[in-house]
Amino acid sequence: MAQNFTRLIPFLLLAFVLTAFKTISAGDPDILSDFIVPQNVSDIDGKFFTYTGMRGVFDKYPTNFTVIKASMAEFPALNGQSVSYAVLFYPAGSVNPPHTHPRAAELLFLVEGTLEVGFVDTKNVLYNQTLQIGDMFVFPKGLVHFQYNRNHNKSALAISAFGSASAGTVSVPVSVFGTDIDDEILAKAFKTDIDTVKKIKAGFPKP
């Protein structure tokens, strides 16, 4: 009995190490300095920690659903800080189609209008809500979620915070129908015919 247990120890250790690794890699890596300065930048001051790319962002309302991001790509000082922002414009009747952020939860704050939001968990349960100005909604990390401005007369505006400097976005319709996945595979996956798949694909021209 004791001998059997001894033989199991390496496997238990491996399981422990894998579990620990999974925990560590579940968010942005911790950094061993206060902040990270890009290699090609020498002198930094308060400017480095300031993002001015959103100035004037509220001056003109776009005609289509629009996301403006301030992530590590736009704002290098976010590297290693595990945070980022996005400003989201929803013209009357517009939708932010189902998508996921593989590396972060999203905390959405509704500033203007009303907004129907929802996500689906790994048991395929839908959790949805209609937000009023001042409401916040959290989309858990990695889960498929959407937002819809059901009001066809009034625009909505939200600001989202992410728990990653580079949350990433995977759009469900684009990744499925806007890529080269074979029509036959999609027809079988969606329990439909190839003509229907071709019709849907036509709405997602490849760049």
Ligand X SMILES: *[C@@H]1O[C@H](CO)[C@@H](O)[C@H](O)[C@H]1NC(C)=O
| Binding residue for ligand X, selected from 55, 60, 123, 152, defined by CB under 6 A | 152
Yes or no: say if 178 and 206 are a contact pair by the CB < 8 Å rule. Answer: yes
d(CA 145, CA 165): 19
Q: Across the strands, what pairs with 171?
A: 99
Yes or no: say if 159 and 90 are a contact pair by the CB < 8 Å rule. Answer: no
For residues 8 to 37, the per-residue mask of contacts with ligand X, x marking binding by CB under 6 A and - elsewhere, is ------------------------------
Residue 50 near ligand X by CB under 6 A = no
Measuring CA to CA, which residue among 91, 89, 26, 186 is closest to residue 201?
186
CB of 191 to ligand X, least distance (A): 21
Cβ proximity to ligand X: between 25 and 40 the closer is 40
Q: Calculate Rg over the CA atoms of the chain.
A: 22
Residue 153 near ligand X by CB under 6 A = yes
Cβ proximity to ligand X: between 17 and 136 the closer is 136
Residue 129 near ligand X by CB under 6 A = yes
Residue 135 near ligand X by CB under 6 A = no
Residue 40 near ligand X by CB under 6 A = yes
Has 152 been labeled as part of a binding site? no
The secondary structure element, H or E, covering residue 200 is helix 194-202
Q: Across the strands, what pairs with 129?
A: 117
Q: Tell me the CA end-to-end span of the chain in Å, nearest whole number.
A: 62
Please enumerate, by residue number, every residue annotated as part of a binding site: 96, 99, 101, 106, 145
**Chain residues that interact with ligand X, rule: CB under 6 A:** 38, 40-41, 63-64, 116, 128-130, 151-153
